[in-house]
Amino acid sequence: MATHPIIERAVQQQRTLLTETESKHVLHDLGIATTQSQLAPSASAAAHIAAAIGFPVVLKISSPDIIHKSDVGGVRLNVHNAAEVRRAYQEIVRNATAKAPEAHIEGVTVQPMAKPGVEVIIGMSKDPTFGPVLMFGLGGVLVEVLKDVAFRIVPLSQQDADDMMRDIQGFPLLQGHRGAPAVDRNALQRILLILSDFVANTPVVQEIDLNPVYAYHDGALVVDARLILEAASA
């Protein structure tokens, strides 16, 4: 499997953090559904893209130097019209410049507002002993406070992918809680297996963070994504 051109370019430029737009592009090409985001270098470009996508949209800061976009006031959800887009663009850039003055800011990304789903998180990190390890957990407070996550070593079997979902305490939330429909575990399993294959074949990828992924009754959608590459050895 050839390395994705976006990854090749980043390696050549000696960059280790792929932006959300780049990361989602790679995922899309792997066959994983994402809220595709487009980079707008100006407020009017953002308004144009938003009009083309259709409202409501989400605007986020785009910078290779900013890992947590919300932490710098860099995310605006549910933006409803062109005037709001322009205002949100300026606010996001102002916030990010104030909170991260050193960061190179490319502009702001525009993407569709996703319909709510069960928030899950899927990640990959490298263990010094076991190599690439995939992680699955429920998003939001459950992962931040309760660390309710499961790990499996790459390559994953179908059984591994299924087991890791069953392993977490929050599993009942995936099965449908209080009358909510069960989520599409096959779609989540598919993402885990695609990533397992991808990281096994692309050793330069050091870390993957899909947070959140929205799990639906039918399908799953990656709403935020980050790929981190190995730093080039000197």
Write out the residues near Mg ion by the rule CB under 5 A: 211, 224
Residue 112 beta carbon to ligand ADP: minimum distance, rounded to whole angstroms: 6
Closer residue to ligand ADP (CB): 47 or 222 = 222
Residue 137 beta carbon to ligand ADP: minimum distance, rounded to whole angstroms: 14
| Region binding ligand ADP by CB under 6 A among candidate stretches 6-14, 41-49, 68-76, 84-92 | 68-76
Which entry of ligand ADP, Mg ion, none binds 114, CB below 5 to 8 A by partner kind?
A: ligand ADP
- CA 54 distance to own-chain centroid: 21
Q: Which two tokens stand for residue 184?
A: 């599409």
* By the rule CB under 6 A, 141 interacts with ligand ADP: no
* By the rule CB under 6 A, 60 interacts with ligand ADP: yes
Closer residue to Mg ion (CB): 43 or 122 = 122
Residues within window 17-46 making contact with ligand ADP, judged by CB under 6 A: 35
* By the rule CB under 6 A, 144 interacts with ligand ADP: no
Of 113, 133, 150, 193, the one binding ligand ADP (CB under 6 A) is 113
* By the rule CB under 6 A, 58 interacts with ligand ADP: yes
Please name the residue ranges forming H helices in 116-184: 141-144, 158-167, 171-175
* By the rule CB under 6 A, 160 interacts with ligand ADP: no
* By the rule CB under 6 A, 223 interacts with ligand ADP: yes
Whether residue 110 contacts residue 38, with contact meaning beta carbons closer than 8 Å, is answered with yes
Residues within window 73-92 making contact with ligand ADP, judged by CB under 6 A: 75, 77
Kindly list the residues in this chain that would bind ligand ADP in the complex (CB under 6 A): 35, 58, 60, 68-70, 75, 77, 111, 113-114, 212, 223-224
